[in-house]
Chains A and B, each alone.
Chain A
């Protein structure tokens, strides 16, 4: 066993840190002690279950098992992103398609170029990072698009009244939403290594890999996260741009921050 990896006794000992968090919550009367305990128990149970299933997939599932695992992650990520964009028409299919397209294109490219090995133990963790990045970008894009469309209805309708088609009338707002969605990924790429040591690199170093080798992996991870965010954001924006308007180039009713329909 790698001495850098904690034993189960070590994991049990780390419960002391949960106890510390519970103590802080209790001392400050935050009424969060129960929630922290449940969260810690859930994290332990979920990760133990995932570890067991991953072991099965790695051992018996092969690449097909990895693809199935990724598909499941995409479905869950689509639901999470769609919940953020509640009120947007057809949010669930739009978000799921965006995450799926970004994941397929990014992982497909990495595999096709031989950058990563076509093994379940590689494809699943790398795919997980891609799905997570794509989900975040799709959620931010769709949320901003919904807010932009509701807030900028007068400007959008003014353009429609000049005879512009819906895509042209909405283009400035679509670009603004897409920029907002991509800025976190761009900033993370710019500052990687300077402000924080990213997860993949940290994990490899903890597992005993030399830093120059860990860095190679991290560079690939940063580039793939950038591509995943860009593709998910773009796909989400293009699809949402269509569902926000009807066939007569009319902006559909959308909920305002107060929850009322806005026309």
Chain B
């Protein structure tokens, strides 16, 4: 079924009949939905459902074959794509570090970053300021994941697109990311979160979009406020 629930806020993104094909496969099939501003929206569904593709649409790493994606009512191709990507930051599932030093990694996100700002960014993702002087080669997977998140935050984005942000983290690091997500939305930011961790999405997401084989099957408040199985 395709459920439509009222938005919890003004629509930041709106997707209209968005379809993406890759060869014969339909990665997204006529997806229509809205993503409100100032909240966390979880995108859930089984592997291969099109969750990551949907995230990549929102900063134009993917282009729809049909339909359109709008930000604040304007179609994405009408916006400056580089400015869009600084405004809408995507943090991928696998951490990809671009430099050999932690400080340089943060400056890849914001070249004018000073020492205090860099330390502040590390603190936001529960990494110690002393790490600024370290190389990136010896970082654990969890540290690298959080450093990628801090690098994205360095550009002061309005929207965070997070693809499985806690998949490589231990429990305490995952809690730090949750707290960051909560404070980011509390400050007016918007998060779109792809996660298989239903407990996480219940805790931090206000809305859920559920995909199955590229089709949007459920959209509405997150399951902590409504049991979606009743609508299936």
Contact = CB atoms under 8 A, between A and B. Distances in A.
Interface of A: 154-155, 157-165, 248-250, 261, 263
Contact of A248 (B63, B83, B108): B63
Contact of A162 (B22, B23, B61, B109): B109
Interface string B67-101: 00000000001000111011001111010101000
A224 B90 CA distance: 47
Interface of B: 22-23, 59-63, 77, 81-83, 85-86, 89-92, 94, 96, 98, 108-109, 148, 151-152, 155
A157 B155 contact: no
B61 A154 contact: no
Given A155-B98, A161-B91, A164-B82, 14 more contacts: A157-B61, A158-B98, A161-B89, A161-B90, A162-B89, A162-B151, A163-B85, A248-B60, A248-B77, A248-B81, A249-B81, A249-B82, A250-B62, A261-B23
Nearest to A172: B98
A155 B81 CA distance: 18
Contact of A161 (B59, B77, B83, B94): B59
Contacts of A160: 61, 85
Nearest to A164: B82
A118 B121 CA distance: 65
B219 to A, nearest CB: 25
A233 B155 CA distance: 35
Given A154-B92, A154-B94, A248-B81, A159 B152 contact: no
Given A158-B92, A250-B61, A163 B98 contact: no
Contacts of A161: 59, 61, 85, 89-92, 152
Interface class of chain B by DSSP: mixed
A102 B3 CA distance: 61
Given A154-B92, A161-B152, A163-B86, A250 B60 contact: yes
24 contacts: A154-B92, A155-B98, A157-B61, A157-B92, A158-B92, A158-B98, A158-B148, A160-B85, A161-B59, A161-B61, A161-B89, A161-B90, A162-B85, A162-B86, A162-B151, A162-B152, A163-B86, A164-B82, A248-B60, A248-B63, A248-B77, A250-B61, A261-B22, A261-B23
Max chain A C-beta neighbours (<10 A), residue from B23, B85, B89:
B85
Max chain B C-beta neighbours (<10 A), residue from A161, A162, A263:
A161
A161 B85 CA distance: 6
A159 B98 contact: yes
Nearest to B148: A158
Contacts of A261: 22-23
Nearest to A250: B61
A126 to B, nearest CB: 44
What 3 pairs between A and B have smallest CB-CB spacing? A163-B86, A158-B96, A163-B85
A160 B96 CA distance: 12
Nearest to B81: A248
Contact of B96 (A155, A164, A250, A263): A155
A158 B152 CA distance: 10
